[in-house]
Amino acid sequence: MATRMAATPPTLAGYSYVRPLGSGGFADVFLYEQDMPRRVVAVKVLLADAVNPEVLQTFNVEADISARLSAHPSIVTIYQASISADGRPYFAMEYCPDTMSARYKKAPLPLAEVLDIGVRMAGALETVHRAGLLHRDIKPSNVLINSLGAPVLADFGIAAAVIEEGEGETIAMSVPWSSPEVLQERVSGSIPSEVWSLGATLYTLLAGRSPFERADRGSNSRDQLTDRIIKARYTAVPVPGIPPIIDDLFASAMHRDPAKRPASMAEFAEKLRWAQYELGISPTAFEAASAEWAAAAPVNFSDATVRGPVITTVAPDSRRAARAARPQVAPRERDDVPASTRGRTRSPLVVGIVGAVIGAAAIAGIGTAALFLTGIL
């Protein structure tokens, strides 16, 4: 985030202000303590000078959809969205103590972890896309690390509505991770451009720098990066020992022609999972909203509704997969249950006889286990 001074934190009913967490071009993030239930939360507040009727309407729709999407395990959980007393919209969300941006700047991440993050983020973004939305600002700082150490996607929707106003549609971009067509303002966002951004984000986590950034910091101005990205000449990950399959995967995701990239986040996830398999890494489960969910709950921006099941892929040799593959047998009617069934329902008379047998055995010094072994019970 930028280094400008954060605005004054708003007074929020039911929350106690703790400290600032950061500030960006269009919002501030503060740490609050919620009174009931008692927990710390991150509160993201839009700047007062960014608020207008159109932004407020967009905020209401995006807040509702974001909160419903946050049921996905790899999307940040939103607890509340409202307007503060001084008129600033805000989100109250789970507090995530770290970001992938901070992590890769300390040291590049291991390949196995990067592939795992990629599958999880692809599942989150596939769910967003099936809800009829685009993130439009995928980058390492928008992949947070929650209190359990898991990556979660944050900051979608509102950034695209507020950051930068262009001709017609709003264009939101973070140059090092934006696709050529977005930088050239041919599109404000698309599924292929989001595939590019996720590929560029994963490359960054693995390499310790963005794909078109050079080791010489003096040659990485905004204009220089933009020019290199538009030309889209892929450079292999500058880390010794990276398998060719990884560079092939990234080169495909960041192809200059959008039509030659993976057609969806689901397709990109399968490429990541296949790389895991080829490298002897246990494939990460892919979780995304089902097609039935998307068909039953299209986004209606006047009355947004998002609901439905989540589908998942698991390793084919796992116990969970084996259980799911077993045929489901409808329960039988009681009078169809054979007398030999272990879980049968006994009548009160039978229960009384069994109790008498156990009582008599106890007096005679015979254990219950012996009664089972002899077939009496």
Strand partners, 20: 30
Question: What are the φ and ψ backbone dihedral angles of 20, each rounded to 5 degrees?
Answer: -75, 150
**3-state SS of the chain?**
CCCCCCCCCCCCCCEEEEEEEEECCCEEEEEEEECCCCEEEEEEEECHHHCCHHHHHHHHHHHHHHHHHCCCCCECCEEEEEECCCCCEEEEEECCCEEHHHHHHHCCCCHHHHHHHHHHHHHHHHHHHHCCCCCCCCCHHHEEECCCCCEEECCCCHHHHHCCECCCCECCCCHHHCCHHHHCCCCCCCHHHHHHHHHHHHHHHHHCCCCCCCCCHHHCCHHHHHHHHHHCCCCCCCCCCCCHHHHHHHHHHCCCCHHHCCCCHHHHHHHHHHHHHHCCCCCCCCEEECHHHHHHCCCCCCCCCCCCCEEECCCCCCHHHHHHHCCCCCCCCHHHCCCCCCCCCCCHHHHHHHHHHHHHHHHHCCCHHHHHHCCCC
Cα(129)–Cα(268) distance, integer angstroms: 13
**CB-CB contact of 355 with 368 (8 Å):** no
Q: Select from 137, 139, 74 the least CA-distant residue to 100.
A: 139
Picking from 120, 154, 136, the residue whose alpha carbon sits closest to that of residue 22 is: 154
Active-site annotation holds for 38: no
Of 88, 120, 130, 136, which residue is the catalytic one? 136
What secondary structure does DSSP assign to 40-54, as a single string? EEEEEEE-GGG--HH
C-beta of residue 10 within 8 angstroms of C-beta of residue 45: yes
Catalytic positions are: 136
